[in-house]
Chains A and B, each alone.
Chain A
Amino acid sequence: MDLLLGAVVIGVLLGCFYAAVSLGLSVSFGLLDVPHVAHPAFLVMASYAVYFLNDRFDIDPLLAGLLITPALFLFGLAAYRLYYETFEKRGSDAGVRGIAFFFGIAFIIEVLIILQFGVDQRSVTASYIGKAWRIGDMRIPIRLVVAFAVAAALTIVLALYLSRTFMGRAIRAVAQDQEALRLMGANPVKIKQWAFGIATAVLGIAGALLIIVAPVEPTLDRAYIGRTFCVVVMAGLGSMTGTLIAAIILGVVETIVLTLFGASWAPAISFAMLLGILAVRPQGLLGRRS
């Protein structure tokens, strides 16, 4: 029983971390309908940037994540521009070729990381990594608590941004009805580009959390395709609070299965949940529209 309780606590902490790495996808795939399978590759790339700053200049990983955020924002703007010019503008089967396009990008990023940093696992150093709190029999790694707090803050900030600011509301409007927005005299492409920039910028902090929680390796993005898409699809495309809840569900289920059946089943959990959800609800659990 204690074992299970421990699993649930760790699962909730882990779930918040999963929310942080899925938030960007929740915007880009959930709101903008971009089949962004390179999202986890962008995430791992951000982690390596954090690793570089931490290793070379001894900068705290979270601060490093904040430092690379503006660069990621610009990168996101450029990536969406390229995607828009080559796919959305031409119309037709943008989704089908778009997913192939993003897979190509993901592979290129993977190899560039391998060529630059090698295939070994990399990790960062900070005062809060490697220590743990003990509550009774339970051992809670402080790195998970840090990830939990930062992830929760990030989710709240992004949710507030999307609901309170002018630009945030514009992003939700463009997701709802692009044509109506055009009739109002706004340029939907510019808003979507901005939104994609935000979705990529969030990866700075998320990437820092990824490398704080566990060491990263160049092909780690493949495991996170399952986790991030599972969270976003389960969340009901585009809802930030939904993302948080879905991520916590995934975190708890993953930790419980790990405790009961062992680590070798870990990779399949998120994908199996995703498959189950898609089989029952082809448009996602709380599908925004058909």
Chain B
Amino acid sequence: MRRNSIAFWVGAALFLLAVVLMTQLIRNEYPFFAGYVILQFVVLAVAWSILGGYAGYVNFGTSAFFGVGVYTAVFLSKALGAPLAVQIAAAATVGALLGFAVGLLTLRMQGIFFSIATIALTIVIETSVTNWRFVGGAAGIQMQRPPVTPPFETYVQMLFCVQALLVVVAVAVARYIQSSWIGRGLQALKDDELAAECTGVPTLRLKVLACVISGALMCAAGAPAAMYLQYADPSSAFNLNYSVSVLAMSLIGGTAHWAGPVVGAILLGVTQQLLAVTISSEVNVLVLGVMLVLFVVAAPEGLIGLIRKAGRYRARGEA
């Protein structure tokens, strides 16, 4: 366990170092544009699987949290001219509060009713933001990027590094939860909520806690998006595509281990970036749908499950 931890933190440090080196060495802007989106999906997928994977509560409200993150940043930047770090911190706080509210509201719902409730919440929040004049309403709002601070040359490079930092935070949190009593409790309530409750697992508190953590991370991931696009509008910030993409990424990767959503997000994210550039955004959504159906039908445990199964067969063969 100890050695695992050291390996993880060394890996995380190397990853961040590589990201910073990239910004110094690569002159082309495009890798950062594309990479930012992929990293953003890694954060969202990892955050999603804290509630959706460990606890088995399928949250379709990813776009609600993402959009609230975007609009927290928009509001702060417009009202106070707050810097990016403040925007992200505030978004994480708002996300935690929203997660708490979602947890309380949906405590007693299970299975599909929870999923439907989260979709409903997304649309209700989206409609409220659409009717909120101050942040632009349905027409959206233009964002002005502040001047960039060295060592970064462009703002997108900086956002890329910020999102990489969020990836490390999200993975570290997910990894901690997975190996701690929280993760074990969530796993227990996923298998059988009643039995878990009876054996003394505080299921309600754990569920709310998972909602809070997951929500905070999702909102934080959404906060830099307004500056990235230099524009925000409700129908794209709260687009259902985010929810389904993130769900697909987590299921494709596998939800039993924190590496699952990371792998799934990179795989699907890279595919989507390539397709969006080479073919069209419609085909992009088609691939998303097909991959989702294929994996749910053929590989219910995701890639992680497939790899584990292969490993088990090999072990049996050698024995």
Which A residues have a C-beta under 8 Å from some C-beta of B? 35, 37, 86, 90, 93, 95-101, 103-108, 110-112, 114-115, 222, 225-226, 229, 233, 264-265, 267-268, 271-272, 274-275, 278-279, 282-284
The answer to whether B56 touches A100, judged by C-beta atoms less than 8 angstroms apart, is: no
18 contacts across the A-B interface (CB closer than 8 A):
A93-B56, A97-B296, A97-B300, A99-B112, A100-B296, A101-B293, A101-B296, A107-B289, A108-B293, A111-B283, A111-B285, A115-B282, A226-B120, A267-B127, A268-B126, A272-B120, A272-B124, A278-B106
* Contact residues of B between 113 and 134, Cβ < 8 Å to A: 113, 115-117, 119-121, 123-124, 126-128, 130-131
CB distance from A124 to the nearest CB of B (A): 24
CB distance from A150 to the nearest CB of B (A): 28
Give the most central of B138, B290, B293: most A CB within 10 Å. Answer: B293
Contact of B109 among A114, A264, A271, A282 (CB under 8 A): A282
- Chain B, Cβ-Cβ closest to A34: B112
On chain B, which size bracket covers the interface?
35 or more
- Chain A, Cβ-Cβ closest to B119: A225
The complex places the Cα of A103 from the Cα of B248 at a distance, in Å, of 10
CB distance from A81 to the nearest CB of B (A): 13
- Chain A, Cβ-Cβ closest to B138: A264
- Chain A, Cβ-Cβ closest to B118: A275
- Contacts of B76 on A, CB cut-off 8 Å? none
The answer to whether B127 touches A96, judged by C-beta atoms less than 8 angstroms apart, is: no
- Contacts of A106 on B, CB cut-off 8 Å? 289
CB distance from B99 to the nearest CB of A (A): 16
- Contacts of B307 on A, CB cut-off 8 Å? none
- Contacts of B300 on A, CB cut-off 8 Å? 90, 97
Given A103-B244, A282-B110; A108-B290 close (CB under 8 Å): yes
The complex places the Cα of A101 from the Cα of B297 at a distance, in Å, of 8
The answer to whether B296 touches A104, judged by C-beta atoms less than 8 angstroms apart, is: yes
The complex places the Cα of A96 from the Cα of B116 at a distance, in Å, of 11
The answer to whether A282 touches B115, judged by C-beta atoms less than 8 angstroms apart, is: no
Give the most central of A86, A106, A107, A272: most B CB within 10 Å. Answer: A107
- Contacts of A274 on B, CB cut-off 8 Å? 116-117, 120
- Contacts of A86 on B, CB cut-off 8 Å? 296-297
The answer to whether B297 touches A271, judged by C-beta atoms less than 8 angstroms apart, is: no
Contact of A111 among B115, B124, B286 (CB under 8 A): B286
The answer to whether A275 touches B120, judged by C-beta atoms less than 8 angstroms apart, is: yes
The answer to whether A104 touches B282, judged by C-beta atoms less than 8 angstroms apart, is: no
The answer to whether A112 touches B116, judged by C-beta atoms less than 8 angstroms apart, is: no
* 7 A-B pairs with the lowest CB-CB distances in the bound complex, closest first: A107-B289, A268-B127, A104-B292, A104-B293, A108-B289, A271-B120, A111-B286
The complex places the Cα of A268 from the Cα of B113 at a distance, in Å, of 18
- Contacts of A107 on B, CB cut-off 8 Å? 244, 285-286, 288-289, 292
CB distance from B108 to the nearest CB of A (A): 4
The complex places the Cα of A93 from the Cα of B256 at a distance, in Å, of 14
